[in-house]
Amino acid sequence: MEPLFGVVLGLILAVASPAHDSCTCATNKWAVCAQDGPGNCTCRLAGSDHPVDCSTLTPKCFLMKAEMTPLKEKRFWRPPHGLSDSDGIYNPDCEDSGVFQARQCNQSSTCWCVNTAGLRRTEKGDRSLSCSELVRTRWIYMELMHNRSSRAFDVPDVAKALTRLFESRYKLHPKYIAAIKYDPPLIQIRLDQKKKPRWDVDIADVAYYFEKDVNNDSIFHPNSKLTVSVNGDALAIEKLWIYYVDEKPPEFCMRQLAAGISAVVTVVVLTAGIGIAVLLILKWLHTRKYKKFESKEMREIKTPSLE
């Protein structure tokens, strides 16, 4: 009877094990997943306890919040008290939909306004700062540099490979890829998304996932590494720059600009003043030397010869 029981137990474990292993979130390695029923896997985001839709990208706001959440089981995380007042990663306030709240504040009660990409677009102030709206990031420009040792690819092939990458890996509809230009080894990509229907991913989320992939810190499941190939040849991306353009210009005050202009004007005035002073001194020395020489000649003319 015992051998039969062992066989039955082994079969049960064999069936249950794949179901347990499949309870992961392919698009978010920070999601905490649990099997809450036969064939039903529920994933929630660490730090906010929001349910995660693993069939698409997780909003950037939720991702940043997850990054700031200490998880001893996974890796070392920056402690909450270690936050610095910078424009880098911070613990954001998110709406239930995953979008950033228009006003963000840190633990020192310093606040600022952000765009839909979570980037600061105003000067920092106190908690009395008011942000009337969440301004949309409409355009995103990316500049990539691939390995210089790689051969130059054909332009249409590069555009096709990158379009396929953004569509399959990041769930971005090709209509939002406005242009791809290639001048070896530089690749330029422009994403344009004036409006975002609820069912489409946001280009700011796509840019965040892509940046993490290029920096070898993928948000996808740990076994999912970024690979880009053009007609079977690897396209090794070495550098990435991302630029965000909002529907409305940023609202930084002119204090910093005025200070910079004032500093430049001061340097120019001082340089000009020193130059003029040097010229005047040189002219004075030249005039003094000439007068001295002229005076000596006059004395020689007036002095009678001893012969």
Going by C-alpha positions, the residue among 211, 214, 54, 213 that lies closest to residue 140 is: 211
pLDDT exceeds 70 at position 86: no
Name the token pair of 85. 């007042």
Name the token pair of 245. 């353009």
What percentage of residues in the chain have a pLDDT greater than 70?
74
Phi, psi values for residue 203, rounded to 5°? -65, -25
Taking only the tens place, the pLDDT of each residue in 7-58 is: 444 444 444 444 445 788 999 988 889 888 777 888 988 777 788 999 999 9
**Ramachandran region of residue 41, left (φ > 0), alpha (ψ -120 to 50) or beta?**
beta
Taking only the tens place, the pLDDT of each residue in 139-188 is: 999 999 998 877 889 999 999 999 999 999 999 999 999 999 999 999 99
Angle at 88 between CA 87 and CA 89, to 5 degrees: 130
**Residue 264's pLDDT is what?**
61
Return all residues near 181 (Cβ < 8 A) that are at least 6 apart.
155, 187, 188
Count the alpha carbons within 13 Å of 83 in the hemisphere toward its beta carbon: 20
Going from N- to C-terminal start, the domains of the chain cover 137-251
Angle at 260 between CA 257 and CA 264, to 5 degrees: 140
Pick the CATH number of 137-251 from 3.30.70, 1.10.10, 4.10.860, 1.25.40: 3.30.70
The predicted model scores a pTM of: 0.71
End-to-end CA gap in the chain: 151
